A and B are shown apart, each in its own frame.
Chain A
Amino acid sequence: MGLFDRHAGLLDAYRDVRTTGADPFQIRMERVLSPTEAIINGKKCLTVGTNNYFGLTFDPSCMQAAIDAIQAEGTGTTGSRIANGSYSEHVALEDEIAAFYGKKHCMVFTTGYQANLGVISTLVGPEDFLLIDADSHASIYDACKQTQAEVVRFKHNDPASLDARLRRLKDRDEGDRPGNRLVVLEGIYSMLGDSAPLKEFIAVCKKHGAYVLVDEAHSLGALGENGRGLCEAAGVLDDCHFIVGTFSKTLGAIGGYCVSNDPDFDILRVTVRAYMFTASLPPSIVASVRQALKVVKARPELRRQLWDNVATLYDGLAAQGFKLGPEHGPVVGVHLPDRMMAIGFWRAMLDAGIYVNVAVPPATPNGVSLLRCSLCAVHTREQLEHMIEVMTGIGRQMGVLTPKLRAAG
């Protein structure tokens, strides 16, 4: 058996995808023009699939901070913080994020993926229990593969399902099984844009004495009065033992973090391999992220603009009869009947000058095929109305919109 034989099924599926004439997984942005526009296939396209929620990738103050940092401290750190030491700016960034959440400790990672992978897999060990939502991000699933804890999966956004699984962690003869319980949730789920019923989850966790970790990757900036995420919006910041997030979406760069009030939190710096054995963030990234965090705090109107845009796109598509994710969110998932239909729709949109993501099984929950759109605070109303018009046209042509709904739209 050849090394790649085990991927035969995937190769077949991938071949099918490419028969549409475009490969959505190897799209080339020939030139990125702004947070909402890029040249793709020689043509200027509207980008509605880049997770650039506040549009800060082109914020002049963030760009200038990065330029200044490169000139002052060079292009990279060339090693991990364990080996090469921390730059003052790494420490300053950690202090600022901890203060942003009102937590005592913060650790910064080179990517959000590594933050989840490293922290989750290390917090729990042999004899412990890790409970994850069924629709968790790949970084959380990969942490499950690395940890030695027993991993139990509960139904997506279903506190009763978690409650049942925590209750079952006992033996008839020996009673409650020893070991810590860690529950992992996400502020906003990346495929359908829905939020966790966090208050209810926290109540279940308290009842069973479980620790809670919330990944705010897609909710940082978007949710909460100060943009701290779902923990803030739900009023449970103090009940979340660990909050993880990323710099690669709202903050427009790359990197991850974890904050906590646990007095021994810093021991993770010498136990989490995803922190110890990889190079630390370069000065330019640290500088632009520090500035972006200042912008998030200083410009709450960006959050309002983002949600206005969410409403425009979500309500506009819903009115035309598209089947969408369950609620308004900075990610709007558009359901399509199957993989080939999703790829075909995606391709037609690209031909019409609009770039979104396409998400197909096995990367999606419940085997659904989706066009995944993510909004930006600086999308204009005209851009989004144009997008709805284009999608409605394609949807009618492909027979995705039913006649009845067409009439209603």
Chain B
Amino acid sequence: MSTAQNVIVENDDVPLSLRRHPTRGEVMAEICTQLDAFRSDDAQVIRGATVISKDLSIDSLAVMDMIMELEDRFDVSIPMNTVAEIHTVDELADTILKLAARR
């Protein structure tokens, strides 16, 4: 249960479109999908504590592009001002869940 990928599976039984708000598992799964291409090597596992800009091979522009994909997936907008305060995968998931709850 240590990897974010594992968490996904448990919550993946109901399509997102049928639920008003995404679950944490769905958000983590989507983040992992988006970040997959930026893993430093094939053995690297993306976890909640993974620091996006440090642990992965991703530049600041690619982070913003990835966030734009997540925004559209979960129908939220993450202000650029907030992005500066997001460091880990967990923090990114928290932000998306918090914004989705306000919808």
Contact = CB atoms under 8 A, between A and B. Distances in A.
Interface of A: 134, 144, 150-155, 161, 164-165, 168-169, 171-173, 361-362, 365-367
Contacts of B62: 367
B40 interface: no
B18 interface: no
B65 interface: yes
A144 B80 contact: yes
Contact of A152 (B59, B61, B72, B77): B77
Given A168-B76, A362-B61, A155 B102 contact: no
B68 interface: yes
Given A134-B65, A134-B68, A366-B65, A169 B77 contact: yes
Interface of A is mostly: mixed
Nearest to B82: A150
Contacts, number: 42
A322 to B, nearest CB: 24
Nearest to A155: B68
Given A134-B64, A134-B65, A367 B59 contact: yes
Nearest to B84: A145
A361 B64 CA distance: 14
Contacts of B79: 150-152
A366 B59 CA distance: 11
A151 B59 contact: no
Contacts of B75: 164, 168
Given A362-B59, A366-B65, A367-B61, A151 B81 contact: yes
Q: Contact residue range for chain B?
A: 10 to 19
Interface of B: 59-62, 64-65, 68, 71-72, 75-77, 79-81, 102-103
Contact of A172 (B59, B61, B68, B102): B102
B60 A362 contact: yes
B68 A153 contact: yes
B56 to A, nearest CB: 13
Given A165-B71, A165-B77, 19 more contacts: A144-B80, A150-B79, A150-B81, A151-B80, A152-B79, A152-B80, A153-B64, A153-B68, A153-B80, A164-B72, A168-B75, A168-B76, A172-B102, A173-B102, A361-B59, A362-B60, A362-B61, A367-B59, A367-B61
12 contacts: A134-B64, A152-B77, A153-B68, A153-B80, A164-B72, A168-B75, A172-B102, A172-B103, A362-B60, A365-B61, A367-B59, A367-B61
Contacts of B59: 361-362, 367
Contacts of A171: 102
Contact of A361 (B61, B71, B80): B61
A240 to B, nearest CB: 23
B83 to A, nearest CB: 9
Nearest to A168: B77
Contacts of A169: 77
A168 B103 CA distance: 8
Contacts of A154: 68
